[in-house]
Amino acid sequence: MPYSGPKLDAVPETATVWNWLFNGRDDTDQSKSVVRQHGFRDAATGSLASFQAVKEQATHCAAALSSVYGLKAQETVAVLAQNSVNYTVAVFAAERIGAVVTALPSMAMARDIAHYLEASSARIVFYDKSTAAEVSRAWKGPGPAPYALISLDDAPSSTISGTGTLQQLVQKGASEGVRPPRPAWTIPKGKSNKSICAFLAFSSGTTGKPKAIMISHSNMIAQLMQVRALIPRKLGTLLGILPFYHSKYQWLTMGSDHA
């Protein structure tokens, strides 16, 4: 995106979105305080999930996604839901594994969802109560769908049978996890984050069916660096009003360092 601000350092070619956000901070007391005290606040309930808490939940969820579903790096995780703290946990869990995230419009109809999931070859689909009905109608083929469905709500939707919840995965990962946790996925030796996909955004489809657009780890980190350079650290709160599925907005909000 267009940028006019302080000169930025080059993006390290071995950095991943996960490691840059959670492990790439400086080791100052101020930085540690941000991780512990700042985070994502639910405007409806007022509850706050610190960055540290989100990191821990995402770590446990990632472990369970690997052990239960066999999710691997560069496989796709789709999210169809309204904004929530659990949304961020799902996204970061996928990024920790090295999976590709595609955040889809929460108002999409079943026909469009079917196209998105087929085009992205989604292995995992996170949904919530607002999208459950359309998600349940998206698969029309014989036999089971080629993707697993996981609810971001506290309980699975009654319209979708046989699905678990994100918090169940977090609990499973916590109970089975090793200490310390397995290291997060890293850029393979000899590769650059400029050529490895982190996020799939879809075009609007004005001239045909929406097309998937690959966005690299390097590209996303560069945009996060721009946001951090432009937003004053003294701000206590950054209000997020756009949906997380917006191709850039979700990452800029998640990486802003503000509550």
pLDDT in tens, 93-107: 999 999 999 999 999
Beta-carbon count within 10 A of 134 CB: 20
Q: What percent of the chain has pLDDT over 90?
A: 53
What does the alpha-carbon distance between residue 133 and residue 30 come to, in Å, rounded to a whole number?
A: 45
Rounded to whole angstroms, the Cα distance separating 220 from 56 reads 22
- Residue-range domains of the chain with CATH: 17-254 (3.40.50.980)
Bridge-based pairing of strands 148-151 and 122-127 is parallel
> pTM score, two decimals?
0.89
Q: Is residue 73 over pLDDT 80?
A: yes
CA-to-CA dists, residue 176 to 59, 64, 66, 150, 167, angstroms? 12, 8, 12, 19, 14
Confidence category of residue 51, pLDDT binned at 50, 70, 90: confident
Q: For 226-253, what is the mean pLDDT?
A: 70
More confident residue, 174 or 253: 174
